Amino acid sequence: MSNNTEQKETPHIKPNGVEIAETILLPGDPLRAKFIAETYLENPVQFNSVRNMFGFTGSYQGKKVSVMGTGMGMPSMSLYSWELIHVFGVKNLIRIGTCGAIQDQMNLYDIVLAMGASTDSRYVHQYNLPGEFSNIASFSLLEKAKQGADSKGLPVHVGNVLTSDIFYNADPTAIEKWRKMGILCVEMETAGLYMNAAYAGVNALTILTVSDHIIRNEQTTPEERQLAFTNMMEIALGLA
């Protein structure tokens, strides 16, 4: 258990003495964090409300677990995950989010486990590496999540995702190029999380639900994104 009882805070996370668990679920939407806390956690206590980026700590099947929103994009995810790791001692960071599928065999509501995260971001430049870095998940979390999805009989895809800085891309050919490289889907946060975790020597995994199929122009509603992705949430909670 992380030692978070002392008064620690950052400009973005002010727990006011509430403990942040060593395992945390990280949805992009703070309202999804609130939904998870109210639906799944026993005795949830809110530990953050700065910028309405809600965070809660409670128990799930007897284990302490936290959940907190991270916002959209790598800069936001990277900021919050860095502070959770280095200031609050979090050891297991599990992103639960949505993605746009780009492969034919994928459908709305399918689960994606991000074994790797390619990216068009330059976030990695800060490490001054003498080559290219591969952003990969923690295998211990990945293996357990796959087992959890299989036990539920869910359609699950394990592989490489694209973490993009661009939601509205001026280059209409970009998606097809990534698609030809076997990229499963597009999202906006995982590569930053995986880099932060790798550099700090902690565990990270992204679990996604297909909310859109970019090639087939299919999509779910905002309400469904917030409330209906319970399979993904339960797989993530099982990792605590």
The whole-angstrom separation of Cα 112 and Cα 97 is: 10
DSSP class of residue 59? E
Q: Which residues of 128-163 are buried (b: 16+ CB within 10 A; e: fewer)?
A: eeeeeeebbbbeebbeebbebbeeeebebbbebbbb
Is 28:189 a contact under the CB 8 Å cutoff? Answer: yes
Q: Catalytic residue among 104, 150, 165, 212, which? A: 212
Pairing of strands 203-213, 218-219: antiparallel
CA-closest candidate to residue 135, choices 189, 178, 192, 95 = 192
212 is catalytic: yes
Helix (H, G, I), strand (E, B) or coil at 36: helix
- CA dihedral 45→138→32→44, nearest 10 degrees, is -10
The whole-angstrom separation of Cα 66 and Cα 156 is: 25
Helix (H, G, I), strand (E, B) or coil at 47: strand
DSSP class of residue 126? G
Number of helical (H) and strand (E) elements in the chain, helices listed first:
7, 10
- Catalytic site positions: 212
